[in-house]
Structure 1
Amino acid sequence: MRRLLVVCIVLLASPLMADTVLEDFAPPGDWTFFTDQGMGGVSTGGAEIAVIEGRRALRLTGDVSTENRGGFIQARKDLPDGLPAGTEGIRLRVRGNGERYFVHLRTGGTVLPWQYYQAPFQTGADWPEVDIPLEAFDPSGALLRATPRPEGVRSIAVVAYGRDHEAEVSVARIEAY
């Protein structure tokens, strides 16, 4: 019985068992907005930290256009220390206009501007939690590892991407689990 108690205490105290809040959108907001216009695209939009239905959230809105070989808007946050060791995935609390959006991760190995790891998530009118395992992030090219390593992640982005549409997505919390 004593050994079982010690094991339980060790497991409960383990940092691998606890989720780590990466962003709760309390000030200051250190997110950077990007569009495809730097590459000749014509997508427009904006990102802001706002109170939405009583929750502080990042709100990404705009018009995504694939014209001129474009097709994205995004808000990105640097993670200079990477994700915590043992991270198995990213958890988001999201809502939006019912469209599919993406999380992009950049690592020390994503040297070129068009390199990233991408995973989709669906939005709706409520605020569900969405879990995205690191294994679900697809590399943008053959030169990248199959799965990003948590300690190698250098930024996270919320992205409207890949098709002509009106973007409206809000993210109220981001965690590493």
Structure 2
Amino acid sequence: MKWLLILSFLMCLNGEIIIFDKDNNTQRWYVVNDTVMGGISSSSIKIDTNGKAVFSGEVSTENNGGFAMTRMPTNINLNKQHSKIVVRVKGDGKQYQLRLKSNESQRYSYVQVFRTNTQEQEIILPLIGFYPAFRGRKLNFGNFSANQIKEVAILIGNKKDEDFSLEIIKIAIQ
């Protein structure tokens, strides 16, 4: 218990908010595939023995499908010093989307695309760079400017059939 208090103090000290890492990995991730609209893609997310979240599966464009997503509800309050999300991943060379919602009932997401390689890498995504989108279409209003995040998600949907595997090592707000 004392270790958690010290860790919380250190997180506040440098302003970083840890959403997920090896020491903070008990959050509930949910899988949402294109099966919700008749597709046949499949995916899973599991915490491995090193505390990494491994999001993997197969995307299929059959039956008008083509995406797999994992999402995690959050309750994060942002302040003016928070300007970016830092994602540490080990990927497969494919393109993914990091998606945010600022309200539980929000139907659209704020999206930013990132490309992985096969090495562990740190990807920095400015909060202001997240654009609003719904069902793959960019919406015509401002980019992310909210003071809270209620959901974080990772989606793969590259308009082709493909297997994928993404190790999520850390997600933080700085």
On whether the aligned pair clears a TM of 0.5, the verdict is yes
Q: Report the TM-score when normalising by structure 2.
A: 0.79
Alignment partners' CA distance in 2, 1:163 and 1:67: 11
Structure 1 SS opposite 2:78: coil
**Is 1:23 aligned with 2:17?**
no
What residue is the counterpart of 1:174 in the other structure?
A: 171
Of 28, 34, 46 in structure 2, the residue corresponding to residue 48 of structure 1 is 46
Q: Report the TM-score when normalising by structure 1.
A: 0.78
What residue is the counterpart of 2:5 in the other structure?
A: none
Distance 1:89-1:128 versus aligned 2 partners, 3 A rule:
same
Of 104, 107, 117 in structure 2, the residue corresponding to residue 124 of structure 1 is 117
Q: Percent identity?
A: 23
Alignment partners' CA distance in 1, 2:83 and 2:144: 10
Alignment partners' CA distance in 1, 2:35 and 2:60: 10
Identify unmatched segments of 5+ residues in structure 1. 1-12
What residue is the counterpart of 1:8 in the other structure?
A: none
What residue is the counterpart of 2:3 in the other structure?
A: none
Alignment partners' CA distance in 1, 2:171 and 2:13: 17
By how many angstroms is 1:29 displaced? Answer: 3.8
**Is 1:85 aligned with 2:83?**
no
What residue is the counterpart of 2:157 in the other structure?
A: 161
What residue is the counterpart of 1:135 in the other structure?
A: 128
Structure 2 SS opposite 1:128: strand
Structure 1 SS opposite 2:43: strand
Q: Deviations over 1:78-131 (max 9, x none)?
A: 112x3421221110110111111110111228622xx21111112122211110
Alignment partners' CA distance in 2, 1:131 and 1:16: 20
State the one-letter code of the partner of 2:44. G
By how many angstroms is 1:69 displaced? Answer: 2.4
By how many angstroms is 1:139 displaced? Answer: 0.9
Alignment partners' CA distance in 2, 1:148 and 1:109: 15
| Matched residues, number | 157
Identify unmatched segments of 5+ residues in structure 2. 1-9
Distance 1:132-1:110 versus aligned 2 partners, 3 A rule:
farther
Instruction: Answer with 23-32 or 116-125: which moved more.
Output: 23-32
RMSD after superposition: 2.3
Residues 90, 133 of structure 1: 8 Å contact kept: yes
Residues 29, 49 of structure 1: 8 Å contact kept: no
